[in-house]
């Protein structure tokens, strides 16, 4: 199954593959023809003819040139086919990762996915690199054995007698190699995961002085990978001498028997020289094939793990007959919406609500109440377990995903910036935007002032995850990106919770420009942010327990009032 899927990637390049095989066949034929040179040399020595000797050596050099030229052309062509096939696999793998639903990223470690993309694909590259040599060796072996059968079937059977032992050895080593390669890839995925977690959490590691703990974690995973890797290497290194001994034993038996045939007069020196040359020509590919089989087995293991990712389900595709949302106004309805993550109890338990276009809605409640889950249903990051989410009266399950998400922008608590320029990070909101539009969005987001302080201005590289910028600066870039997108529905997920007072003031001012005319959902714990909402929805354990304005909910004395009173007491407690 795996092999057939790999071949499916090479099928569009089949003509090129056939050309490569033809060249490889010519190279193998030239290698097999060495036996003719051997016979001619033996005859020249017996006849003591210097002319024959000279002509034979010239023919040998010419044959060698043909062999090398054809082998190069064949290997290059077959390698090209293999590399193009692997490049297509790599492209498909990246595309599949882009379209995986968020549930997959909730369960798969990022380091594991990166390992599949890196190490497993590299194993396929190694296998592809070995493929031309494997093909050439296989053609040479088949041609040599066929020629030997034609010249002297009795001597050939003596040599072939060891073939079952070679086959058994290679088969056994192949099983062991696949097993150890799978274990090795799993261990390196653990190493990559630890490395990524450590890099992404470096502030936490240093804050808690956990460098020794992280070193211990990494060392344990690294040692496990070392053990699995050395086991794989041990099997590969053991295979070579074992197969070599079996082949050498066969050649030794052949030498003894063939010399006997020469002595008793059943075989001429010329025939013996030609046949033994063929035996040597056939012996080399056996060792080579045994080694290449190890690389190909590793490639098959890598391919199997890659296809495991390629077989993961993508986001739910557009339903048959799905229509694009046009002229979106931003009206949102939740109709008895329920949702449960895989293996967990319901997070949302029958939420029903209506929001008018342009309404600013704050979602409030204790941690785990379902606030983030609820807003993740609007862009269809998740589908409700039951119930319906509607935009402008259309069930979002029946509209095209591209049209839905193009009308939505999200400003998260931790803005995700790319290792690119400030301009391109803002442009991510609308790729066709002009520089003037990008600068206008930056001004509205209160970002232009700090951007101008950089020598490169909008061309400043922000570093990985925007680490060259402060938290407030990153947030304002994210707001500028959202302004540029000009969405009808806006989601602010704790957009100011991690900022200091000065940065929060600048960001809040930028948000005032962003909120105008948009249906906005705000998840926040700070009541300075919540107060700007025209409607407040209070959630507890997946249920809407209160709804109203800030003043109404405080006067009601329910859960919202308790949360509010708790927060306004905190500054007093800190002052004490």
- Which residue from 511, 508, 444 is spatially nearest to 436, judged by alpha carbons? 444
pLDDT tens digits along 431-463? 899 999 999 988 888 888 889 998 999 999 888
Take residue 400 and report the two structure tokens written for it.
């095209």
Q: What is the DSSP string of 22-52?
A: HHHHHHHHHHHTHHHHHHHHHHHHHHT-HHH
Q: According to the model, what pLDDT value does residue 2 have?
A: 76
Predicted confidence (pLDDT) at residue 551 exceeds the cutoff of 70: yes
Q: Which domains does the chain have, with CATH numbers?
A: 2-310 (1.20.1560.10), 330-407+520-576 (3.40.50.300)
* 552 contacts 560 by C-beta, under 8 angstroms: no
How many beta carbons lie within 10 A of that of residue 517, not counting itself? 12
- Which residue from 412, 394, 392, 384 is spatially nearest to 523, judged by alpha carbons? 412
Predicted confidence (pLDDT) at residue 366 exceeds the cutoff of 70: yes
Count how many Cα atoms sit within 13 Å of the Cα of residue 355 in the half-sphere of its side chain: 35
Predicted confidence (pLDDT) at residue 547 exceeds the cutoff of 60: yes
* 169 contacts 246 by C-beta, under 8 angstroms: yes
pLDDT tens digits along 394-405? 999 889 988 998
pLDDT tens digits along 48-65? 888 888 888 898 899 989
pLDDT band at 215; cut points 50, 70, 90: confident
Give φ, ψ of 362 to 5 degrees. Answer: -100, 135
Q: How far apart are CA 419 and CA 433, in angstroms?
A: 19
Q: According to the model, what pLDDT value does residue 500 have?
A: 61
Task: Give the residue with greater pLDDT, 362 vs 506.
Answer: 362
Q: According to the model, what pLDDT value does residue 575 have?
A: 36
Mean pLDDT value across residues 222-226: 82
The pLDDT mean for the chain works out to: 83
- Which residue from 135, 154, 134 is spatially nearest to 275, judged by alpha carbons? 154
Q: According to the model, what pLDDT value does residue 208 have?
A: 66
Predicted TM-score (pTM) of the model is: 0.72
* 478 contacts 427 by C-beta, under 8 angstroms: no
First to last CA, the chain: 70
Predicted confidence (pLDDT) at residue 352 exceeds the cutoff of 90: yes
pLDDT > 90 in the chain, percent: 14
Mean pLDDT value across residues 504-513: 73
pLDDT > 70 in the chain, percent: 94
Q: How far apart are CA 86 and CA 23, in angstroms?
A: 22
* 297 contacts 174 by C-beta, under 8 angstroms: yes
Predicted confidence (pLDDT) at residue 499 exceeds the cutoff of 70: no
Range name among 149-153, 170-174, 558-562 with the lowest pLDDT average = 170-174
Range name among 27-31, 139-143, 317-321 with the lowest pLDDT average = 317-321
Predicted confidence (pLDDT) at residue 348 exceeds the cutoff of 70: yes
* 543 contacts 366 by C-beta, under 8 angstroms: no
Q: According to the model, what pLDDT value does residue 165 have?
A: 75
Task: For residue 10, list its beta bridge partners.
Answer: none
* 232 contacts 180 by C-beta, under 8 angstroms: yes
pLDDT tens digits along 10-23? 888 888 888 988 99
């Amino acid at each position: 199954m795996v092999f057939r899927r790999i071949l499916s990637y090479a099928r569009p390049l089949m003509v090129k593959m056939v050309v490569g095989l033809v060249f490889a066949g010519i190279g193998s034929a030239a290698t097999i023809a060495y036996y003719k040179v051997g016979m001619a040399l033996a005859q020249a020595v017996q006849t003591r003819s210097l002319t024959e000797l000279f002509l034979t050596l010239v023919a040998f050099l010419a044959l060698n040139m043909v062999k090398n030229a054809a082998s190069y052309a064949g290997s290059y062509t077959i390698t090209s086919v293999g590399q193009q096939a692997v490049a297509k696999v790599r492209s498909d793998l990246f595309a599949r990762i882009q379209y995986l639903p968020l549930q997959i990223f909730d369960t798969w470690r990022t380091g594991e996915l990166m390992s599949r993309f890196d190490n497993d694909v590299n194993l396929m590259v190694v296998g592809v690199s070995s493929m031309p040599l494997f093909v050439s060796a296989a053609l040479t072996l088949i041609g040599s054995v066929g020629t030997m059968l034609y010249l002297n079937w009795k001597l050939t059977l003596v040599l072939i007698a060891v073939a079952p032992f070679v086959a058994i050895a290679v088969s056994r080593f192949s099983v062991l190699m696949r097993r150890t390669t799978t274990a090795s890839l799993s261990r390196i995925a653990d190493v990559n995961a630890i490395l990524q977690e450590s890099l992404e959490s470096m502030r936490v590691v240093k804050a808690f002085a956990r460098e020794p703990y992280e070193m211990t974690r990494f060392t344990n995973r690294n040692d496990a990978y070392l053990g699995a890797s050395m086991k794989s290497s041990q099997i590969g290194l053991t295979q070579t001498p074992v197969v070599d001994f079996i082949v050498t034993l066969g050649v030794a038996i052949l030498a003894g028997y063939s010399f006997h045939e020469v002595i008793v007069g059943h075989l001429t020196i010329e025939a013996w020289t030609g046949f033994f040359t063929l035996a040597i020509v056939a012996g080399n590919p056996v060792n080579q094939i045994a080694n290449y089989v190890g690389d190909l087995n590793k490639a098959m293991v890598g391919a199997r793990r890659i296809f495991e990712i390629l077989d993961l389900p993508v986001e739910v595709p557009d339903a048959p007959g799905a229509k694009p949302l046009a002229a979106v106004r931003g009206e949102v309805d939740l109709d008895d919406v329920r949702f449960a993550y895989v293996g967990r109890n319901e997070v949302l338990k029958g939420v029903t609500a209506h929001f008018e276009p342009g309404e600013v809605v704050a979602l409030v409640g204790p941690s785990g109440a379902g606030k983030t889950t609820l807003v993740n249903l609007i862009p269809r990051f998740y589908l409700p377990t039951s119930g319906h989410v509607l935009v402008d009266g259309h069930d979002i399950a029946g509209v095209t995903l591209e049209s839905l998400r193009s009308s939505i922008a999200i400003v998260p608590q931790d803005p995700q910036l790319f290792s690119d320029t400030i301009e391109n990070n803002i442009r991510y909101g609308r790729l066709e935007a002009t520089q003037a539009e990008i600068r206008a969005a930056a001004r509205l987001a209160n970002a232009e002032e700090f951007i101008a302080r950089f020598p490169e201005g909008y061309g400043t590289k922000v570093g990985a995850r925007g680490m060259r910028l402060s938290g407030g600066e990153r947030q304002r870039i994210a707001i500028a990106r959202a302004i540029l997108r000009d969405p009808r529905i806006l989601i602010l997920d704790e957009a100011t919770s991690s900022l200091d007072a000065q940065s929060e003031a600048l960001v809040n001012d930028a948000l005032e420009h962003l909120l105008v005319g948009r249906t906005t959902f705000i998840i926040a714990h700070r009541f300075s942010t919540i107060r700007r909402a025209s409607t407040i929805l209070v959630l507890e354990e997946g249920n809407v327990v209160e709804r109203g304005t800030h003043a109404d909910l405080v006067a009601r004395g329910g859960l919202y009032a308790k949360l509010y009173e708790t927060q306004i007491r905190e500054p007093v407690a800190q002052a004490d």
